[in-house]
Amino acid sequence: MSRAYFQPAALEEALRIRRDNGEASLLAGGTDLVVAMRHDRGPAGDVIDLSKILELKGIQEIADSTPVTVNGIHKMTGKIRIGPMTTFTEIMESQLLREAAGILCEAAETVGSPQIRNRGTIGGNLCNASAAADCITPLLCLNAAVELQSLGFDGSKCTRILPLETFLVDSKKTDLRSDEILTGILFQRPAVDMSFAFQKIGRRNALAIARLNGSCAIRLAGNTVTSLAFALGAATSKPERIERAEEYLTGRELTDEDLAAVGKRAAEYVLEQTGVRASSSYKLPVIERFTASLIRAAAERSTTL
């Protein structure tokens, strides 16, 4: 099969090539696309390699004018921006993310092998839209958004900002248009009194695609939940927030009874979305216990208990 291979050095060049080659595939780290192409399962079109575009790499914080005090030290709050070509290793090693959104670093550490983490990118992970993608549930709990850019034939640049949950349409399906490139992942720096947890269940400890993963962000007043974000991956056709679990627990104390009840609600939602399957007798009780365990783990990290 004959393909054209493009390796633009700048974002605007990449957007122009993308505009003029609507059937072309975008190549990020290549840990999924290249493997699929080698086994004749990949797309048939041309390839646009984004690896040389510096504008799509890096992690930065854009400060606003609202100061907060943490342990007596004044800090600026702001929005964190991650370039889509940032690798999982770079996410793991980012001091900014360790301090502001450590849950994302924890999730990145569970991705594949060191070789995959060195090559795989967070943007490729999002655009591949696997139901089991490890870094999506933390981003959902961080209320992340994606920045999508395209270039008009008159040279004008168009930018769309979508909530991540809207961008993810279904398994392996996103709202990325044929002329667009994912150019940024954005989220507000979490409040200092928010605590997080990420957990994953796989068939083995390393190199395993998740059979279930999840993230939780919780804020407590004493032992009472004042806000909760809870997301599951590999449970339904796409990673998603389980709103009925969030609504049930908000305003309640973290008792064993309520944690068991919120686990049942999460399992009920998954059953409604997927129907009864051969794995349901195993997976639904696991989801119940996993939900309770994950929320408890996040709560135990809180400084307000």
Whichever domain contains 215, its CATH number is 3.30.390.50
pLDDT tens profile 190-227: 999 999 999 999 765 445 566 899 999 999 999 999 99
pLDDT class of 78 with cuts at 50, 70, 90: confident
Question: Please, what is the angle between helix 280-300 and helix 256-274, to 10°?
Answer: 140
Range of the domain at 42: 5-52
> Is residue 70 a part of any domain in this protein?
no
Work out the average pLDDT over 36-55.
80
**pLDDT recorded at residue 65:** 47
Tell me, yes or no, whether 168 and 252 share the same domain: no
Tell me, yes or no, whether 207 and 108 share the same domain: no
Describe the strand order of the beta sheet including 47-49 as a list of residue ranges: 5-6, 47-49, 25-27
- Rounded distance, CA 146 to CA 160, Å? 8
Q: Among 188, 212, 235, give the residue marking a domain's end.
A: 188
Tell me, yes or no, whether 169 and 227 share the same domain: no
Tell me, yes or no, whether 30 and 102 share the same domain: no
Q: Which residue has the higher pLDDT, 248 or 41?
A: 248
pLDDT at 242 over 70: yes
Tell me, yes or no, whether 59 and 176 share the same domain: yes
pLDDT at 14 over 70: yes
pLDDT tens profile 247-301: 999 999 999 999 999 999 999 999 999 998 877 888 999 999 999 999 999 999 9
> Is residue 221 a part of any domain in this protein?
yes
**pLDDT recorded at residue 203:** 64
- Rounded distance, CA 215 to CA 197, Å? 6
**pLDDT recorded at residue 71:** 47
Query: Residue 244 belongs to what H/E stretch?
Result: helix 243-249
pLDDT tens profile 110-128: 998 898 899 999 999 999 9
pLDDT at 72 over 60: no
Q: Where do the DSSP E strands lie in the chain?
A: 5-6, 25-27, 47-49, 59-70, 73-82, 145-151, 157-163, 168-170, 173-174, 181-188, 195-201, 212-221, 224-233, 240-241
Whichever domain contains 20, its CATH number is 3.30.43
Whichever domain contains 167, its CATH number is 3.30.465.10
pLDDT at 30 over 80: no
Query: Which H, E and C letters describe 8-45, residue by residue?
Result: CCCHHHHHHHHHHCCCCEEECCCCCHHHHHHCCCCCCC
Work out the average pLDDT over 54-73.
72
Task: Copy the structure tokens of residue 113.
Answer: 């092998």
Tell me, yes or no, whether 274 and 232 share the same domain: yes
pLDDT at 73 over 70: no
pLDDT at 74 over 50: no
pLDDT at 246 over 80: yes
- Rounded distance, CA 154 to CA 53, Å? 22
Tell me, yes or no, whether 223 and 261 share the same domain: yes
227 backbone dihedrals φ, ψ, rounded to 5°: -155, 150
> Is residue 274 a part of any domain in this protein?
yes
pLDDT class of 55 with cuts at 50, 70, 90: very high
> Is residue 14 a part of any domain in this protein?
yes
Q: Do the beta carbons of residue 176 and residue 127 sit within 8 Å?
A: yes
Mean per-residue pLDDT over the chain, rounded: 90
pLDDT at 23 over 50: yes
Task: Copy the structure tokens of residue 275.
Answer: 């129907």
- Rounded distance, CA 284 to CA 152, Å? 48
**pLDDT recorded at residue 67:** 53
pLDDT at 62 over 50: yes
Q: Which residue has the higher pLDDT, 71 or 302?
A: 302
- Rounded distance, CA 191 to CA 255, Å? 24
DSSP state of 87: B
> Is residue 305 a part of any domain in this protein?
no
Split into its structural domains, the chain has a count of 3
> Is residue 286 a part of any domain in this protein?
yes
